[in-house]
Chains A and B, each alone.
Chain A
Amino acid sequence: MSDVTTDEPGGLAEGHAPKEPLPLASFDDPHLQPLAKQPARAEGVVGILLLLGLLGFAAYGAVYWVGGQPQVEGISLGVGLFCFGFGLSAWGKYLLPQGPFMEKRHKLASSDDERAAMAAAIVERGGMMVKRRSFLGGILGIGGAVMGVVLAFPLLRSLGPVPAKTFDVTNWHKGSRLVDNLGRPVHVADLEVGGSLTVFPEGYTSEEAMAVDQTILIRVAGPDVDVVTEPSRATWGPDGYLAFSKVCTHAGCPVGLFQHQTLQLLCPCHQSLFNVGQGRPATNVFGPAPRPLPQLPLYVDESGFLRSQAGYDQPIGPGFWERTTT
């Protein structure tokens, strides 16, 4: 049907591009006609699209020039680029030869001989290099391995400190005064019942310290009520105050929300819920957090400021391999 006049190639079997004469077509071959039934109209449409593109470009230039405005910039250049591209695509689809054209597939694999030749080159020629030179080969191998290891030193080891004891330690100590994020000490009269505040040990204001030390102070009862979350923590919650590490035991997000009607702390990252209050030591009751939040033992000093009786009794935050306390 087509005017292609070539010998049928035998290329497939040989695994080479066939040595066939280049195909030739006559100008009025139906394959070379455009797809559009009315090429003149298609040409008009393409022309309009390209012009719209041009207009869009110009409009963007003008908008930019007079000071820019994101929405107008978006519309002008966006529509411009789209129309310009649409015109070009339509040109390709409707005005260029419709085909269909084809190409032949040629076998990808080489002949058996060529494969054998390459394998031989690797195995035998390569073998010549190490044959009876196993000593040199050994040094080369060991040398390469050692090189790899020592190169990893600067690539890996220089990156940072190894985790000594750093995971277990916060800056909370016996007597640390509780301060808010601006360093103001927290007085026992500061929070209403149902209130909450993020607190830090006095004197540690760097971002790094705050990330580890962040503690959520909540007030669940009025003055003179010792909140006992656990029998062994009888004195930890003076005057209705409780303090827990704010670092979620799941993946470390700040446990930001205190819901005082239900007496729960909520972590917004994956919705872990912790029960707090009388007999409720921040027990993880819902969500993926595996452990209660560690509790900070508090006391009220003689001037009425809140202080910690001691640091946390366990590593805060998410679990890791070296963590021993359960």
Chain B
Amino acid sequence: MSTSSSSSSSSSSSTTTGSLSRRRSTPVDSGLGWLDDRLGVAKGGRIFMDKIFPDHWSFLLGEIALYSFVVLLATGVFLTLYFVPSAAQTVYHGVYKPLDGVKMSEAYASSVNISFAVRSGLVIRQMHHWAADVFIGSIAVHMCRIFFTGAFRKPRELNWIVGVSLLFLAIVNGFLGYSLPDDLISGTGIRIAYSILLSIPLVGSYLATLVFGGVFPGDGSIIPRFFILHVLILPAIIAGLIGAHLFMLVRQKHTQFPGHGRTEDNVVGSPMFPTFMAKTTGFLFMVTGVLWALGGLAQINPIWQFGPYVPYKISYAVQPDWYMGWLDGAMRIMPSWEFAGFGHTIPFMVFLPGVLFPGLTSILFIFWPFIEQKLTGDRAEHHLLDRPRDRPRRTAVGAAFLAFYFMLFCASSTDVLANFFQVSLNVVLWTFRFVVFIVPIIVGLFTYRICLDMTGVSHVGKRKRAVLIVRSATGEYTTVDTEARPGDGHHELEPMLVPGFIEGLDGDGAEGGEPGVRRVVRRP
């Protein structure tokens, strides 16, 4: 595109006005002008395009979550075109012959149809399931990043709360989703969910019958109810919260790791446009590509093998999706405590692990920033991240918690483990009842120790320079850094503000050149 060359101003003036007067008008200028006259978008838009995204890999975790949500929306809409959310009974005569003539719900029949009769349907159904697993997994790992680096500290406590809410809503929506096909395994999960509702003291039986439209399995309304929650209400809330999450992120700007030129008063990285945009759009495609490939290649939830849900049938090795595993594990290792007296029953063996425990977990997670503020007395604003080893106590607590939930997750396979190691279920059960508490304590202490040891050594983790270990005359060891050799690491430039105007790009610069052609300049 070559417009009439404007009069080139000779002096390479470095003020904005100087550059402004030298800018030639492009079609973008006029289009933007039209919009800006009406909405005043230029200033804010430019500031947004200059927004800086730190270049650390750990910032990708949240993006994985965001993009798997995008994939969930897209694949989910596709599924709604074929899925029939109805418990009405029908007899199957579709293309999948092994189920021919079997009585089943419309929901199950339509899910089998999506898998076998809709072209690309199986890939998209499996992709939806994989995306749900990746969505929840990446939220959890992203949350660990936020936790261990202290990114939740003031002023970001609210965004932490939004994030925790997203995690729990995602788990709930995942449960609702895999309940929809009404196969034998998910139906069993619904049955357990009903009993968990029922276990709540005082209101339990009301809640359970209202939600299910009667005593289990109810009047057939549970599938349509789960459906509307799953495809509309929870996704809308999740999308709204993601919006709030990103709004706060833009408003408060990113945190960053300490480093060359990085202070509490700036953010260093790549600008939104075009660098980050290119990288992140590419990343969206990469995440989608991986999920699509998983959907095509890696079988997940083969409902046609489980058969339709029948209330008096049960399959073996009943296990929920992995993100419910910690709850299932807690249900399994809970002692069989039930209170009965005064004309009432409180089934603690279900109420504690099924209601109270996840409730307390979410409360603890939500209030963590404030709990930590209380414990450390640190109420200052922080924009520079902690390295986990520099906060041994927080890191140890976090590691212990992860160990705790991981052990519960393992406890959801007591039967599989007992089979595998050829020991009795009894041994496995009792082992877990102890291990669930002992392992986190050991992990916590161990982590604490490692953190302390690491703070003593300079440049841990950066193997850029050799370190000499020197033994003193008294037998004490110390480390001494060696001189940097040329080529060690790469010396970073001083960060600069994102330039609004680039001189010389269109050939007006001192060196001249063809208008509109970017010249390749050798690096110094």
Are B288 and A81 interface neighbours, CB within 8 A? yes
Is A23 located at the chain interface by the 8 A CB criterion? yes
Interface residues of A in 1-24 (CB under 8 A from B): 1-6, 12, 17, 21-24
A73 and B505 alpha carbons, distance in the complex (Å): 44
How far does the Cβ of A314 sit from chain B's closest Cβ, in whole Å? 11
Q: What 1/0 flags go to B283-323 for Cβ under 8 Å of A?
A: 11111111111111100000000000011111111100000
Give A105's nearest chain B residue, CB to CB.
B265
Contact, CB under 8 Å: A271 / B425: yes
- With beta carbons under 8 angstroms apart, the residue of A3, A74, A207, A252 that contacts B296 is A74
Contact with B along A236-276 (1 / 0, CB 8 A): 00000000001000111110110000000000111111000
Residues from chain A with Cβ under 8 Å of B340 in the complex? 319, 323, 326
Distance in Å: Cβ of A113 to nearest Cβ of chain B: 20
Query: Do residues A321 and B345 form an inter-chain contact, with CB atoms below 8 A?
Result: yes
A281 interface residue per 8 A CB criterion: no
Q: With a CB–CB cut-off of 8 A, which chain B residues contact A254? A: 311-314
In the complex, what's the smallest C-beta–C-beta distance from A263 to chain B, in angstroms? 16
Of the candidate stretches A115-123, A154-162, A218-226, A227-235, the one touching chain B is: A154-162
**Which residues of chain B come closer than 8 Å to A322, judged between CB atoms?**
205, 344-345
A30 touching B493 by the CB < 8 A rule? Answer: yes
Contact of B498 among A101, A251, A257, A284 (CB under 8 A): A101
Report whether A102 and B267 are in contact in the complex, using a CB–CB cutoff of 8 Å.
yes
Q: Counting CB contacts under 8 A, is A208 at the interface?
A: yes
Residues from chain A with Cβ under 8 Å of B350 in the complex: 250-251, 288, 318-319
Interchain CB contact under 8 A, B311 and A214? yes
Give B332's nearest chain A residue, CB to CB.
A270
Choice from B55, B206, B297, B524 contacting A162 with Cβ under 8 Å: B206
Q: Does A320 contact B (CB under 8 A)?
A: yes
Interface string of B165-205 (1 = CB under 8 A from A): 00000000000000000000000100110111011111111
A137 contacts the other chain (CB 8 A): no
Also in contact, A251 and B270, with CB within 8 A (given A25-B499, A246-B312, A288-B334): no
Confirm or deny: B356 has a beta carbon within 8 angstroms of a beta carbon on chain A: no
A84 touches B289 (CB 8 A): yes
Which chain B residues numbered 481 to 524 have a C-beta less than 8 Å away from chain A? 492-505, 509, 519-521, 523-524
Closest-CB distance, A209 to chain B (whole angstroms): 10
The stretch from B208-216, B230-238, B454-462 touching chain A is B208-216
Which listed segment binds B: A63-71, A143-151, A185-193, A298-306? A63-71
The answer to whether A99 and B269 have CB atoms under 8 Å apart is yes
Minimal beta-carbon separation of B359 from chain A (angstroms) = 17
- Taking a contact as CB atoms under 8 Å apart, the answer to whether A100 and B311 are in contact is no
Separation of A167 and B205 alpha carbons in the complex (Å): 9
- Nearest A-chain residue to B519, judged by Cβ: A27
Which residues of B from 263 to 291 have beta carbons under 8 Å from A?
A: 264-271, 274-291
**CB-contacts of B341-399 with A (<8 A):** 341, 343-347, 349-350, 354, 383
Q: Are B312 and A70 in contact (CB under 8 A)?
A: no
Residue B245 at the A interface, CB < 8 A?
Answer: no
Q: How far is the CB of A281 from chain B (nearest CB, A)?
A: 16
Q: Which of A2, A27, A33 contacts B494 (CB 8 A)?
A: A2
Q: Which residues of A contact B520 (CB under 8 A)?
A: 39
Does chain B have a CB within 8 A of A47? no
- A131 within 8 A of partner (CB): no
Q: CB-CB < 8 A to A250: which residues of B?
A: 195, 336, 349-350
- Minimum CB–CB distance for A35 against chain B, Å: 10
Choice from A5, A86, A181, A207 contacting B286 with Cβ under 8 Å = A86
Query: At the interface, yes or no: B153 with Cβ under 8 Å from chain A?
Result: no
CA distance A321 to B294 in the complex (A): 45
Contacts of A72 in B (CB 8 A): 296
C-alpha spacing A125/B207, complex, angstroms: 43
Q: Establish whether residues B282 and A87, one from each chain, have CB atoms under 8 Å apart when the complex forms.
A: yes
A23 in contact with B500 (CB, 8 Å): yes
In angstroms, how far is the closest chain A Cβ from the Cβ of B343?
5
| Contact, CB under 8 Å: A214 / B312 | yes
B133 at the interface (CB under 8 A from A): no
Determine whether A31 belongs to the interface, using a CB cutoff of 8 Å to chain B: yes
Instruction: Tell me, yes or no, whether B219 is within 8 Å of chain A by CB.
Output: yes
CB-based contact A28/B504 at 8 Å: yes
Collect the chain A residues with CB atoms within 8 Å of residue B55's CB. 100
Q: Within the complex, what minimum Cβ distance (angstroms) separates B470 from chain A?
A: 35
Please state if A208 and B346 are interface contacts (CB–CB under 8 Å).
no
> B80 at the A/B interface (Cβ < 8 Å)?
no
B206: chain A residues at CB < 8 Å are: 162-163
> Given A74-B293, A160-B219, 9 other A-B contacts at CB below 8 A?
A24-B19, A30-B493, A85-B288, A90-B282, A96-B274, A161-B214, A163-B209, A268-B318, A321-B345
Using a CB–CB cutoff of 8 Å, the interface residues on chain B facing chain A are 12, 14-17, 19, 47, 50-52, 55, 89, 119-120, 122-123, 126, 155, 188, 191-192, 194-196, 198-206, 208-219, 221, 251-253, 261, 264-271, 274-297, 310-318, 328, 331-338, 340-341, 343-347, 349-350, 354, 383, 414-415, 425-426, 429, 492-505, 509, 519-521, 523-524
> What are 20 of the A-B contact pairs (CB < 8 Å)?
A2-B494, A3-B14, A24-B500, A25-B502, A74-B123, A78-B293, A86-B285, A89-B282, A91-B282, A101-B269, A101-B271, A160-B211, A163-B209, A207-B310, A250-B349, A252-B192, A254-B314, A270-B328, A287-B332, A288-B350
Which A positions have Cβ atoms within 8 angstroms of B? 1-6, 12, 17, 21-33, 37, 39, 53, 64, 67-68, 70-75, 77-93, 96-97, 99-105, 108, 156-157, 159-163, 166-167, 181, 198, 207-208, 210-212, 214, 246, 250-254, 256-257, 268-273, 284, 286-291, 317-324, 326
